[in-house]
Structure 1
């Protein structure tokens, strides 16, 4: 069983050797433009383009809550677009985060990370604009990734969160 390592820094610049997957949570309505995705888009155009195409063609693919799309951005770096929030606004149904969808996506991500022999790097997924609580997400990350021997690094950006 691996541990979750916490560091201060930028999750788009993992400083370890080997194959790396940068995981983050997306919404289920095709929106890309706030939060951590902006840092991804500053580094690589591919994750946004792939996500938008995936959403646009959703009638013919697996796009939806719990789905994962891996996008290769460098020879040994992948970005995992994980659909883990319903919409983007807080409303009568509460915050956009969907813990069950994050759990499903992390299970799928674990299979891919093992297949690639990759470590996983992420901000505190689902806890920024999605409105989730790390106390609910952390056990999912530990159970789905770390418990399967996958090295996980969680990045806290600057003054305390992405």
Structure 2
């Protein structure tokens, strides 16, 4: 079981030494433009470009719910684009876009990628924002699937 360390801060600036993976949830419709992805794109262009290529070429790759794409952005930081939500939330949507089984699959895949790198994993409260998931349902997925990997979850500071 993974232990989760909680910090107030920016998940795009991981507070750790050594290799680091920043994990976040993406949708299966190729959309990139709201939520945490804006902070990622503001820091590095590669994750968005790789995600858009991955989606565009999906007929020839494994893109889909449950898939994870690791994109290296610096010598010791990777971004994990994890396809864990079906579409996006709209005013007509009654079911949250998060797909817990897909997220579990993404996290399992992330573990097989992060462990050989000796990387810690850093993230906001994935799946609990625009994807509409409940953190109390997501946290156990993280602790179950990222066993033995240091995990830090970041909450943004509350404005004064």
Which residue in 2 is equivalent to 1:115? 116
In structure 2, C-alpha distance between the alignment counterparts of 1:40 and 1:89, rounded to whole Å: 20
Which residue in 1 is equivalent to 2:134? 133
Shift of 1:2: 4.0
Instruction: Indicate whether 1:78 and 2:63 are aligned.
Output: no
Give the structure-1-normalised TM-score: 0.94
Q: Which is worse superposed, 24-33 or 81-90?
A: 81-90
Q: Deviations over 1:73-116 (max 9, x none)?
A: 00000000000000002555501000000000000000101011
Q: Deviations over 1:111-134 (max 9, x none)?
A: 101011100000000000000000
Flag structure 2 segments of 5+ consecutive residues without an equivalent. none
In structure 2, C-alpha distance between the alignment counterparts of 1:5 and 1:112, rounded to whole Å: 20
RMSD value over aligned CA atoms?
A: 1.3
SS in structure 1 opposite 2:11?
Answer: coil
In structure 1, C-alpha distance between the alignment counterparts of 2:98 and 2:108, rounded to whole Å: 17
Runs of 4+ in 1 over 6 A off after TM superposition: none
Q: Deviations over 1:31-90 (max 9, x none)?
A: 000000000000000000000000000000000000000000000000000000000025
Give the structure-2-normalised TM-score: 0.95
